[in-house]
Structure 1
């Protein structure tokens, strides 16, 4: 097992205080949006096995089966298939969706054939992979997730009393669900800029007034008015009003599958996703919005946001999701509790978010199915014990047995293989 040194990404929407508070460091005054843990080429974690710092991506490339395990390599190829993050939203992120695997492969191949540079601002597909993701709240967390039922959205829009919204209300009431959602989203994102900007401004004023009055939709109206404050005149504000507004309490989570429109608005969370950069934006951003491609990817299906709560399986609290590239679980270690053995034939990243958690390596043997000789650089060459404080993390190669002890909270990211 190896302690990780991780990169914090300074995106403009990041909180200036949330990640420093977790790490126990002084704020820099600059936004600190995401801390990445993994082997993504954009910001791979680094570790030192006695020969100096090296990137986790480089170490995995040197001997994928030893680090990831044969099962993970067979299932996902010779790379770590997930990326773990701390995400700290100080202001809203863009409204976005992610493609499914077939769409990502087709879109990436098409842009490659057309010679669209990978760093081009209008490029949609940075790789050929899908990007399902899970966000688990560490603090109260606010977001938008999935389409609200059209009749409910029609009521919410009608109560605003903005005449420009009447055509959308009529469509949402009269058309079948998928047709209604598609037609309204298309109309909003394709409208003439000046006209839609005026509508957004009037809608934001009305939403702010209704939020101040209270009532069952006050939180949602406040959120939409806040979006308009951050992105004045952006048609994404109206697109966002089609979505469920959700507040997560610490320990609750959301799973975002392919084609589900979503946006994170505020809060600190642990995010786990497939290792991809593919994002199609619907608004709330100055970046490229490809409306035709977006409409091809979005799933026009309404439903509840689907808040996840973990299931306790022998002291490990597991967040159940329908993907194999990642699996997130949590250990809450109480004072005086017996050490908790932890073994896996797949790679793991362990992240402490509260207290102090100690990792003890078992040097007596490895799991059945793990490489007989261990990783090329060998977990036995690493420390026999690591103590993780909040915000600190460790990489555990496939097949290494460890035991958890201490008092605190530890998140475990691994794969299903």
Structure 2
């Protein structure tokens, strides 16, 4: 495990002296992700982020089980009961291109799915209305959005400017027009997984995004 040598703590000031949690590294897989690759982490899967930057999307959770390398409460017995004890490296996911500039990462559970939108400078794209609400996170560049929410007898429009670090809430049933500014625009959209909806919705290129057969996603 190369990261053990690279991130070796100062022996004169060990953060957790005598903590057996350091041995957990030998039971984990060392995974390197390239940009726009992802891994799916099911429930009860121990993991640790070593270095780099990523986007993480996870289902609601009300508990974390710890057994080492922390001053917080440790519950080794519950951890051992919860582990799946399956072996092998995790699958690296590259997403599915659902339209130009847009890739979809759809996990095998209902809580969410994630879209990656990579717009070159001055380019535009339209994201179709999703039956559920969504959150948009801008991680690079700048641009503009037009969010159109269609009501029973009217349509409401919002035109926020976008920059790195912005978060945008998109109501259910709203379409989103995106345009990159003088910099390429990278954003991530977490939406309700389409598996929970009975009807598929149409993409601008004529395709459909419906029930995918393929609790946590981590993206590089």
Q: TM-score range by the shorter chain?
A: 0.7 to 0.9
1:277-315 CA distances to partner (integer Å, 9 max, x unpaired)? 311113111111112111111110111132222221113
What does 1:236-255 correspond to in 2, within 5 Å? 236-255=21-40
What does residue 69 of structure 1 align with? none
RCO comparison, higher one (Cα < 8 Å, 6+):
2
Asked whether 1:222 is paired with 2:5, we answer yes
Asked whether 1:405 is paired with 2:182, we answer no
What does residue 216 of structure 2 align with? none
Kept in 2: contact 1:357–1:389 (CA 8 A): yes
Following TM superposition, by how much is the alpha carbon of 1:317 offset from its aligned partner in structure 2, in angstroms?
0.8
- CA distance in 1 between counterparts of 2:10 and 2:112 reads 31
Distance 1:308 1:339, change over 3 A: closer
Following TM superposition, by how much is the alpha carbon of 1:223 offset from its aligned partner in structure 2, in angstroms?
5.5
What does residue 347 of structure 1 align with? 133
Kept in 2: contact 1:237–1:283 (CA 8 A): yes
* TM-score (norm. length: structure 2): 0.76
* TM-score (norm. length: structure 1): 0.42
Structure 1: tracts of 5 or more residues without a match? 1-216, 367-371
What does residue 337 of structure 1 align with? 123
1:15-49 CA distances to partner (integer Å, 9 max, x unpaired)? xxxxxxxxxxxxxxxxxxxxxxxxxxxxxxxxxxx
Asked whether 1:314 is paired with 2:88, we answer no
Instruction: Decide which structure has greater strand share.
Output: 2
- Supply the RMSD in Å over aligned alpha carbons: 2.4
What does residue 62 of structure 2 align with? 277
Runs of 4+ more than 4 Å apart: 226-230
Following TM superposition, by how much is the alpha carbon of 1:270 offset from its aligned partner in structure 2, in angstroms?
1.1
1:352-381 CA distances to partner (integer Å, 9 max, x unpaired)? 111113211336x35xxxxx479xxxx83x
Secondary structure of the equivalent of 2:116?
A: strand
1:118-171 CA distances to partner (integer Å, 9 max, x unpaired)? xxxxxxxxxxxxxxxxxxxxxxxxxxxxxxxxxxxxxxxxxxxxxxxxxxxxxx
Instruction: Decide which structure has greater helix share.
Output: 1
Report the number of matched residues: 188
1:327 paired residue among 98, 101, 113: 113
What does 1:193-212 correspond to in 2, within 5 Å? none
State which structure, 1 or 2, has the greater radius of gyration over its C-alpha atoms: 1
- CA distance in 2 between counterparts of 1:224 and 1:243 reads 16
1:286 paired residue among 68, 71, 95: 71
What does 1:34-113 correspond to in 2, within 5 Å? none
What does residue 163 of structure 1 align with? none
